[in-house]
Chains A and B, each alone.
Chain A
Amino acid sequence: MSVPVLRLENVRKSFGSTEVLRGIDLDVGSHEVVALIGASGSGKSTLLRTINLLEPLNDGQIWLSGVDISAPGVSADTVRARIGVVFQHFNLFPHFSVLDNVTLASRHVHRISKADAEARGLELLDRIGLADQARSFPDRLSGGQQQRAAIVRAIATNPDVLLLDEITSALDPELVTEVLDLVRDLKADGTTIVMATHEMAFARDVADRVVFLDHGVIAEQGTPDEVFGSPREPRTREFLSRFLG
């Protein structure tokens, strides 16, 4: 039985008096793609931020590849260097070129030489068709291009797991496809992914497991067919009926 890449046990998180995560238990295996679905406010983004240690936990533990990363005294920066994150609003650095954005972490966190980092960066950008934009600045790119560059930035350092936080929610519909195609490619490469998404059809198609979050707890989880096809919980059914009609 291999060690899960990510294990969450009884994770709780409150903001002031509001408890947003109320005891989350989740395992993510190697090469698995897990889709997090749920209404706004259900805790999807907060969950992703606690995994990345951007938000401190109130209770519970998180293990990354068998190492307890929620223990006090753990260097959060070292942990974050092993997790890739892509945000809803891309968050590329506007004062760096696309290539510099992609190679920043490799050069300054993982101490890879500029030449090696740029070679890998150009290779990745070429794969997504942005090699000729490598020296351009992010404001020259379309939303879809920026988001794909942001994805490449996140995977450039070969993270253990990739966290995608509603990465298509801020995109025009016609640009969503190119981003989702890239995620499909990443899955084919064997990347472990946890993605919060509203794209139900995509989740059904690509995810190995779907997790439905409702008011800070996992109300239901299973294969896409189980959750979308025959949901057990009434809450799940109610949520899905709003999306799938």
Chain B
Amino acid sequence: MVISLLSTLVLATIAWVAIINTPGWARVQQTFFDPEVALASLPRVWDGFLLNVRVLLFAAAGVLVLSVIIAGIRTLRGPVFFPLRALAAGYTDLFRGLPLIITLFLVGFGIPGLIGSGGPRIPSEVLGTIALVLTYSAYVSEVFRAGIEAVHPSQRLAARSLGLSHGKSMRLVILPQAVRKVTPALMNDFVAMQKDVGLISVLGAVDAVRAAQIQTAQFFNFTRTCSPASCSCCWRCP
């Protein structure tokens, strides 16, 4: 334990000394890590960060609901449900195939275009949330489907034998077990979505990264880009 601590300290010191002694360090420090500037830009970046958090929470809720529905449809048995299953499969293939940024443009500019200038103006963060939900539900529904199919068929047999309907056996028996099996994969997608939330800035929504870019452009100091990075890393730790 002591040895590992010592060796870590030695390595950190060597790295620090090496960086400080590079020719451009003074300028880089001034441009990237200036504490005064970081503090001054904090309010704007914080507002942007809160927008990130809001969009993430709503998108996560939307993704959970939609992906469970899609996964449920795809695992329906019986030939009569074929059209539904085909539609769900088509949805999954489409939105996994489209890059998120394209979906953002399609939803962000397409929907207001369809509504026309006479209709209500939908805020870009809402449109961004919709695009995120559409895209990530395609991925997360496949994760849920994998979990559902990983639950042993005997569990379904036992549940149906008790008289539980398909819906109740899914809700009470299959899904709880399925979710436990795929929790790591779900966390993967959640973390990926956290980072992709920043992309809604292409629609004009001012999130943390965008706010930082604006500040940087105004004051020519990249510290403002580093602060949202540290915000998102800290927030991701729990």
Residues of A within 8 A of B (CB): 52, 54, 76-78, 80-85, 87, 89, 91-95, 104-105, 108-110, 153, 157
Q: Is B177 located at the chain interface by the 8 A CB criterion? A: yes
**In the complex, number of A-B residue pairs with CB atoms less than 8 Å apart:** 56
23 contacts between A and B (CB under 8 A): A54-B157, A76-B160, A77-B160, A81-B162, A81-B163, A82-B163, A85-B161, A87-B157, A87-B158, A89-B154, A91-B155, A91-B158, A93-B158, A93-B173, A95-B176, A95-B180, A105-B162, A105-B163, A108-B168, A109-B162, A109-B163, A110-B163, A157-B163
What residues of A have a CB within 8 angstroms of the CB of B20 in the complex?
none
Residue in A52, A54, A94, A108 whose beta carbon sits within 8 Å of that of B164 in the complex: A108
Task: List B residues 167-225 near A (Cβ within 8 Å).
Answer: 168, 172-173, 176-177, 180
Whether B157 and A91, one on each chain, are in contact in the complex, defined by CB atoms closer than 8 angstroms, is yes
Q: Is B75 located at the chain interface by the 8 A CB criterion? A: no
B220–chain A nearest beta-carbon distance, Å: 56
Given A87-B157, A108-B172, residue A77 in contact with residue B163 (CB < 8 A): yes
Which interface class (under 10, 10 to 19, 20 to 34, 35 or more) fits B? Answer: 10 to 19
- Contacts A81-B163, A93-B173 known; list 5 others, CB within 8 Å: A87-B158, A91-B155, A92-B158, A108-B172, A157-B162
Q: Is B30 located at the chain interface by the 8 A CB criterion? A: no
Specify the chain B residue showing the minimal Cβ separation from A93: B173
A104–chain B nearest beta-carbon distance, Å: 7
Q: Roughly how many angstroms separate A135 CA and B206 CA in the complex, as a whole number?
A: 51
Whether A77 and B164, one on each chain, are in contact in the complex, defined by CB atoms closer than 8 angstroms, is yes
Whether A104 and B162, one on each chain, are in contact in the complex, defined by CB atoms closer than 8 angstroms, is yes
Q: Roughly how many angstroms separate A95 CA and B159 CA in the complex, as a whole number?
A: 13
Q: Roughly how many angstroms separate A153 CA and B158 CA in the complex, as a whole number?
A: 10
Whether A87 and B154, one on each chain, are in contact in the complex, defined by CB atoms closer than 8 angstroms, is yes
Whether A80 and B155, one on each chain, are in contact in the complex, defined by CB atoms closer than 8 angstroms, is no
Q: Roughly how many angstroms separate A89 CA and B158 CA in the complex, as a whole number?
A: 10
Q: Roughly how many angstroms separate A110 CA and B159 CA in the complex, as a whole number?
A: 14
What residues of B have a CB within 8 angstroms of the CB of A52 in the complex?
161
What residues of A have a CB within 8 angstroms of the CB of B164 in the complex?
77, 104-105, 108-109
What residues of B have a CB within 8 angstroms of the CB of A80 in the complex?
160-163
Q: Roughly how many angstroms separate A54 CA and B164 CA in the complex, as a whole number?
A: 12
A13–chain B nearest beta-carbon distance, Å: 16
What residues of A have a CB within 8 angstroms of the CB of B159 in the complex?
93
Q: Roughly how many angstroms separate A19 CA and B173 CA in the complex, as a whole number?
A: 32
Q: Roughly how many angstroms separate A80 CA and B165 CA in the complex, as a whole number?
A: 10
